[in-house]
């Protein structure tokens, strides 16, 4: 998976085709897409305690998958922390993995989020930007 700084313009996939039509799985076409939660093992990220309502909101939002890929991306943070044992743990299916994204609508923007975000928050104490947390919680209340 690619690393992107939080709140930068989304560039991982082109949101529309060469004729300017938005991808059919984009829920809010036309709004700017911003990155949140595109982490990797070689870049630092914000950690902290999330608002109590964030994990239930993310769990609900993550059920609506977009940009489904054909392969999996395993959590690079888990792989880094396991060192030499990571390969065997991957073979056993014990490292978090995902293969899609989800979207969260904010004020005039849409946040493009990898499915692994819920794992990053729960297992690695990643703390997304406050405006994203507010949007995620508001969209499920």
CB 137 within 8 A of CB 57: yes
Model pLDDT for residues 73-92, shown as the tens digit of each residue: 667 777 666 666 656 655 55
Global confidence as pTM? 0.84
pLDDT digits (tens, 9 = 90+) for 2-52: 899 999 999 887 766 666 676 777 778 889 999 999 999 999 999 999 999
Q: Torsions phi, psi of 9, nearest 5? A: -60, 140
Query: What is the rounded CA–CA span in Å between residue 129 and residue 124?
Result: 15
Tell me the pLDDT band of 55, cut-offs 50, 70 and 90. very high
């Amino acid at each position: 998976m690619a690393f992107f700084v939080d709140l930068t313009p989304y560039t991982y996939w082109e949101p529309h085709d060469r004729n300017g039509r938005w991808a059919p799985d984009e829920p809010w076409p036309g709004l700017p897409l911003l990155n949140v939660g595109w982490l990797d093992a070689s870049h630092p990220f914000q950690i902290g305690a999330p608002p109590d309502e964030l994990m239930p909101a993310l769990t609900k939002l993550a059920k609506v998958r977009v940009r489904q890929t054909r392969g999996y991306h395993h959590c690079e943070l888990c792989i880094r922390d396991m060192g030499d044992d990571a390969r065997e743990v991957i073979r056993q299916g014990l490292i978090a993995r995902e293969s899609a994204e989800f979207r969260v609508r904010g004020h005039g923007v849409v946040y493009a989020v990898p499915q692994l975000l819920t794992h990053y928050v729960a297992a690695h104490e990643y703390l997304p930007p406050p405006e994203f947390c507010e949007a995620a919680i508001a969209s499920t209340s």
